[in-house]
Amino acid sequence: MVDSIGGLFKMIKKQKLPDEIFGMDTSLFLLWLQPFALLILLVLSIGLVILPKYNEFSEQVAQIRQVDQKITETNQKRTYLETVDQNEIQNQASVLAAGLLPEKSAYLLVKIVQNVAAGVGYAIDDFSVSLGDIKTDETSVTANSSYDKIPVQVTLIGDASKYLDLVKAIERSLPVMSIDNFEMSSGDGGATIKLSISAYYLKDISNIKLESLSLADLTPSKQEMDLLTTLKNYTLTNTEVGDSNATFVKYNRSDPFFTP
């Protein structure tokens, strides 16, 4: 291309040109025109050829670095998992799972409260499950949260001297329960306690990409280890509803409005 430009200038010089071009001596104009044309050619070459090739090369280098980084992270995670006691991981997972409701059921939570209360001599006198309350409490959990908050209201009756034992039993049981409201009235050694209690249920987490977990995600933090230590001191409560040994008894009653 440079030879073509040189040939073009030779042809121009052979032509009969005026003494001046744009107020400048023709020979001086032609002297500056050739390097200016070469400069334009160089700029076009950089913009149309060199820069696209450079950008393509930079993208390939960046991709190679990303692959190398992923390989390094994968090797680090594999090394970490190989050094961790798998039985200990299973035990920790079991403790964390026990801290949550196994199913999204307010009636299951009532049954759990009943079992805990029975251990300190209290019984459920009444309970209330409001779907509106469940919906309201769910909205109080952040949109990005993986948990649903399940609330219930229960009325318990028992020995007034053991109300602190009741509170401790509820707050130190698995699944983890929190007392949101507490009202108590007592008389003749007995107590009636109205409680608003909530527990949490883990939503479906099948959309989590395990391969996207980093080494930091796999490594328990101090706060998480402290939580595990605390939960291990809690009492595991039976979360099964119903008695598998119970038999079904059909209740037959004559219909007084039946006319043969």
Residue 181's domain comprises 102-236
- For the stretch 107-140, pLDDT in tens is 999 999 999 999 999 999 999 886 545 554 544 4
Residues 185 and 156: their CA atoms lie apart, in Å, by 11
Tokens standing for residue 188: 């003749």
| Radius of gyration of the chain, Cα coordinates, nearest whole angstrom | 40
Predicted confidence at residue 255, as pLDDT, reads 45
18 preceded by a cis bond (ω within 30 of 0): no
Tokens standing for residue 149: 């908050």
Does the reported pTM lie above 0.75?
no
Question: 5, 34 in Cβ contact below 8 A?
Answer: yes
Tokens standing for residue 7: 């040939």
Predicted confidence at residue 243, as pLDDT, reads 47
Query: Is residue 116 domain-shared with residue 213, that is, in the same domain?
Result: yes
Number of structural domains the chain divides into? 2
Tell me if 39 is assigned to some domain: yes
Tell me if 207 is assigned to some domain: yes
Closest CA to 177 of 84, 111, 258: 111
Question: 166, 122 in Cβ contact below 8 A?
Answer: yes
Tokens standing for residue 57: 């090369």
Predicted confidence at residue 53, as pLDDT, reads 77
The domain spanning residue 212 has which CATH number? 3.30.70.60
Predicted confidence at residue 16, as pLDDT, reads 54
Digit-by-digit pLDDT tens for the chain (260 residues) are: 545 555 555 555 555 555 555 566 666 666 666 677 777 777 777 777 777 777 888 888 888 988 888 888 888 888 888 888 888 888 888 888 899 998 888 999 999 999 999 999 999 999 988 654 555 454 445 455 678 889 999 999 999 999 999 999 999 999 999 999 999 998 888 999 999 999 999 876 666 676 778 888 888 889 989 989 999 999 998 776 554 343 434 434 444 444 44
